[in-house]
Amino acid sequence: KSDNKDAQSSGDGSSAEDAGEFEVRRQSLHLKEVVGEGEFGVVRRAYLVRGNDKREVAVKMLRDDASSEDKKQLKLELEVMKSVGTHNNIVCLVGFCSPNHMLVVEYCSLGDLQNYLRDVRVGFEHRGRHKLN
């Protein structure tokens, strides 16, 4: 179970209780480069450090000007990921930083599935054309 010492309200009614056992302290996240961007914010590669354990993760962060609806959607995503649990074919929830509205998930070093499949298809099509010539 993670450390809930920084359980506090974020001003919109959310608190560490929203994340429960998944609560992550902001101080334990060491943010690195942006690896993705979406409608509601960015995803950054990061390291989650707890004691001697250092784990590479991805952190979904809302934009500074995020609306209360954006925050609500992120909390809904958190609840869905908590209910799904762990599965080999799904990016799993690692934690949530309530005060900062940061969703922490497993880091996928090969990137997102759509781009990976697109790259594989292009490579496959290129090899197929090469064999025909």
The binding site comprises: 60
Query: Residues marked as binding for ATP?
Result: 60
Q: Give me the residue label for tokens 């993670």.
A: 2
CA-wise closest residue to 59 among 19, 111, 102: 102
Cα 57 to Cα 24: distance, rounded to the nearest angstrom: 12
Residue 110 DSSP SS3: coil
Task: Indicate the DSSP class of residue 20.
Answer: G
Q: Which residue has the tokens 């995803």?
A: 43
H helices present in the chain, as ranges: 16-19, 68-84, 113-132
